[in-house]
Amino acid sequence: MQNHINTYWDVLVIGAGNAGLCAAITAAEAGCSVLVIEAANRDMRGGNTRHTRNLRAMHEEPTDILSDAYSFEEYFDDLLRVTKGITNKDLASLTLQKSTELTDWLQERGVRFQPALSGTLNLGRTNAFFLGGGRALLNSLCRHAEGLGVSLIYETAVASLLMQDGFCDGVRLETGDQIRAQKIITTAGGFEANLEWLAEGWGAPAKNFLVRGTPYNTGTILRALLDNGAQPVGELDQCHAVAIDARAPKYDGGIASRIDGVPFGVVLNKNAERFYDEGEDFWPKRYAIWGRLVAGQPDQIAYAILDSVGVKRFMPSVFTPIKDDSLAGLAEQLNLPPEAMQNTISAFNAACPEGEIDQSILDAKATKGLFPNKTNWSAPIAEPPFYGFPLRPGITFTYMGVEVNDRAQIIMKDGKPTANLYAAGEIMAGNVLGQGYLAGIGMTIGAVFGRIAGESAARALNKTVLGD
Ligand SMILES: Cc1cc2nc3c(=O)[nH]c(=O)nc-3n(C[C@H](O)[C@H](O)[C@H](O)COP(=O)(O)OP(=O)(O)OC[C@H]3O[C@@H](n4cnc5c(N)ncnc54)[C@H](O)[C@@H]3O)c2cc1C
């Protein structure tokens, strides 16, 4: 550690996730001395990136990783639709344009991808899947970075920034030690693991959120930037949140705790009332609204209820569903009011149309006369045994962050870019994602802006960036 403290680094990167490693590699390839500081231990390095599976990339023709084509126009339309236009259009365009380089760039640095996916997820055209998932991607990037001479230190949390008038001289560690550098790249994630901060946007319900990813993304660096005059971007309560099994751990449950059965049953709150159209659209297009929906219910708890037919229609989660031969017995096991649950299910069953549902299309098999109606895949919950999954809001990552420009420089409240501070990944994702989500764009934003931050820092040090 003494060596690291005594060195005056060209570039210091805070956080060894996807964004940080892309930045570190890019700066090191340009000849910078680079130190990456990571709060977690080596096994848990890489924050939320550890949990990922894919990134979303534009491409004009089929590749060995992505089928057909995904044009700039289509990608941009998709982004505008999910964000309802709340995005910095220039930075969004830049992200999409640069996404086209990512699979080659990552492969050249040791990351391996799966062949284009087939099947019902429908993502083979738009999303490139990492072979071995996010952890394998991280291992490859760390190995590559170390091969370039990048120093990575673990179990070392940055507590604050040595910052004055928009200039950052270095960082203070939790130990009190200081490390100095010419350029600082902040890639320390959002504040999704900080329930107190979440409560500033969400109020008391935040205490019942489960954090799907790393406990280390507490927003310490984001807070330090804002306290030192960085311009915030995005709303406090905007985030990606899905419904996950209420039995999942408080942190790091990952994707295995997600419950995908919602479209094939009904979802009840603790009063055994339905509260939203479970069949509004295909699940990949709707799963990301259910965290917010469950967060809006009393005590932030809900229950997906299915019968023995519905339960076979989706990929099982890691948790065994709670099972009973009767609805009354299931209600008792789930602690739901039995009469109210029976009434809700009876009303739902009576409102279902005749005939088989077809889950491969939006089949318009809608209930009639309910509030809310279920608009697709409505089939009676009638074949015992019956199954229940308790659901909680599972927060993935927050969107409120720092404003950046197209060089990944952090913008201060006076509208001017900082002299030597850059941001990439979750900590600035709100520039592109004002609200909503497009599967795979989190990793795309991190890789694109990580590379830009590394390039900008290197150029500002008069280094030649690879490809210049
Ligand atoms: C379960 C799950 C599944 C996901 N799946 C996908 C997917 O398939 N595709 C996709 O695009 N996105 C996905 N995401 C979102 C994706 O993980 C993020 O968008 C992306 O990983 C963010 O990268 P990052 O480098 O900004 O942050 P991270 O990967 O979270 O890295 C931040 C790092 O900073 C470190 N750190 C934090 N504070 C400090 C400090 N004070 N000092 C030192 N180090 C610090 C953390 O330990 C962490 O290693 C998923 C997220 C989760 C939780």
Structure confidence by residue, pLDDT tens digits, 452-466: 999 999 999 999 888
pLDDT score for 122: 67
Is the pLDDT assigned to residue 282 strictly greater than 90? no
pLDDT score for 205: 93
Q: Which residue has the tokens 């030649």?
A: 464
Helix (H, G, I), strand (E, B) or coil at 54: strand
Find out whether 192 and 398 touch, Cβ atoms under 8 Å. yes
341, amino acid identity? M
97 CA distance to ligand 1 middle (Å): 22
pLDDT score for 221: 98
- Ligand 1 pocket test: pick from 18, 48, 55, 238 the residue with the most ligand atoms within 8 Å of its Cβ: 48
Backbone Cα Rg of the chain: 23
For range 181-203, the mean pLDDT: 97
187 CA distance to ligand 1 middle (Å): 9
116-125, 420-429, 436-445, range with the lowest pLDDT: 116-125
User: Alpha helix locations (H) across 34-108?
Assistant: 72-83, 89-99, 102-108
> Quick one: which of 87, 107, 83 has its CA closest to 95?
87
**CA 231 to centroid of chain Cα atoms:** 22
Q: Which residue has the tokens 């979802």?
A: 267
Name the E strands within 45-101. Answer: 54-56
392 CA distance to ligand 1 middle (Å): 21
What are the backbone angles phi and psi of residue 351, rounded to the nearest 5°?
A: -90, -5
User: Which residue owns the Cα nearest ligand 1 atom 5?
Assistant: 52
pLDDT score for 153: 97
- Ligand 1 pocket test: pick from 36, 52, 172, 184 the residue with the most ligand atoms within 8 Å of its Cβ: 52
274 CA distance to ligand 1 middle (Å): 33
Is the pLDDT assigned to residue 148 strictly greater than 70? yes
Each residue of 156-173: pLDDT tens digit? 999 999 999 889 999 999
| Burial of residue 118 (number of CB atoms within 10 Å: 0-12, 13-18, 19+) | exposed
19 CA distance to ligand 1 middle (Å): 8
Each residue of 321-371: pLDDT tens digit? 999 999 999 999 999 999 999 999 999 999 999 999 999 999 999 999 999
Is the pLDDT assigned to residue 4 strictly greater than 90? no
Distance CA 273, CA 270 (A): 7
Backbone angle region of 131, left / alpha / beta, with phi > 0 → left and psi within -120 to 50 → alpha? beta
Confidence of residue 117 (pLDDT cuts 50, 70, 90): confident
User: Which residue owns the Cα nearest ligand 1 atom 48?
Assistant: 47
Distance CA 247, CA 254 (A): 13
* Residue with more model confidence, 315 or 403: 403
188 CA distance to ligand 1 middle (Å): 8
Over the chain, what is the mean pLDDT?
95
pLDDT score for 5: 85
pLDDT score for 121: 57
For range 217-238, the mean pLDDT: 97
Distance CA 461, CA 145 (A): 19
Confidence of residue 120 (pLDDT cuts 50, 70, 90): low
Q: What residue ranges line ligand 1, CB within 6 angstroms?
A: 14-20, 37-40, 45-49, 51-55, 157-158, 187-189, 212-214, 216-217, 220-221, 254-255, 396-397, 425-426, 440-443, 446
For range 189-209, the mean pLDDT: 96
> Quick one: which of 121, 106, 98, 116 has its CA closest to 439?
121
| Percent with pLDDT over 90 in the chain | 91
What are the backbone angles phi and psi of residue 315, rounded to the nearest 5°?
A: -70, 125
For range 303-308, the mean pLDDT: 98
424 CA distance to ligand 1 middle (Å): 11
Angle at 397 between CA 393 and CA 403, to 5 degrees: 140
pLDDT score for 124: 86
User: Which residue owns the Cα nearest ligand 1 atom 50?
Assistant: 52
281 CA distance to ligand 1 middle (Å): 28
User: Which residue owns the Cα nearest ligand 1 atom 9?
Assistant: 440
HSE value, Cβ hemisphere, 13 Å, CA-based, for 181: 27
* Residue with more model confidence, 63 or 121: 63
447 CA distance to ligand 1 middle (Å): 11
HSE value, Cβ hemisphere, 13 Å, CA-based, for 435: 11
Q: Which residue has the tokens 């950046």?
A: 404
* Residue with more model confidence, 5 or 35: 35
pLDDT score for 118: 72
Each residue of 37-96: pLDDT tens digit? 999 999 999 999 999 999 999 999 999 899 999 999 999 999 999 999 999 999 999 999
User: Which residue owns the Cα nearest ligand 1 atom 35?
Assistant: 15
For range 2-9, the mean pLDDT: 86
306 CA distance to ligand 1 middle (Å): 33
67 Cβ partners below 8 Å, 6+ apart?
Answer: 116, 124, 125
Q: Which residue has the tokens 């969400």?
A: 202
Distance CA 94, CA 197 (A): 30
Burial 315-338 (b: 16+ CB within 10 A, else e): eebebebbebeebebbbeebebbb
For range 369-386, the mean pLDDT: 97
Ligand 1 atom index nearest CA of 255: 1
Ligand 1 atom index nearest CA of 49: 21
Instruction: For the chain, report the end-to-end CA distance as a whole number of angstroms.
Output: 34
- Ligand 1 pocket test: pick from 12, 42, 44, 49 the residue with the most ligand atoms within 8 Å of its Cβ: 49
Find out whether 208 and 299 touch, Cβ atoms under 8 Å. yes
15 CA distance to ligand 1 middle (Å): 9
Distance CA 313, CA 144 (A): 41
Ligand 1 atom index nearest CA of 253: 1
> Would you state the structure tokens that stand for residue 26, as one six-digit string?
């890019």
User: Which residue owns the Cα nearest ligand 1 atom 19?
Assistant: 442
Distance CA 184, CA 180 (A): 9
Quick one: how many helices (H) and strands (E) in the chain?
13, 18
What are the backbone angles phi and psi of residue 365, rounded to the nearest 5°?
A: -75, 90
Ligand 1 atom index nearest CA of 213: 53
218 CA distance to ligand 1 middle (Å): 11
Backbone angle region of 47, left / alpha / beta, with phi > 0 → left and psi within -120 to 50 → alpha? left
pLDDT score for 3: 83
For range 91-112, the mean pLDDT: 98
Distance CA 47, CA 28 (A): 22
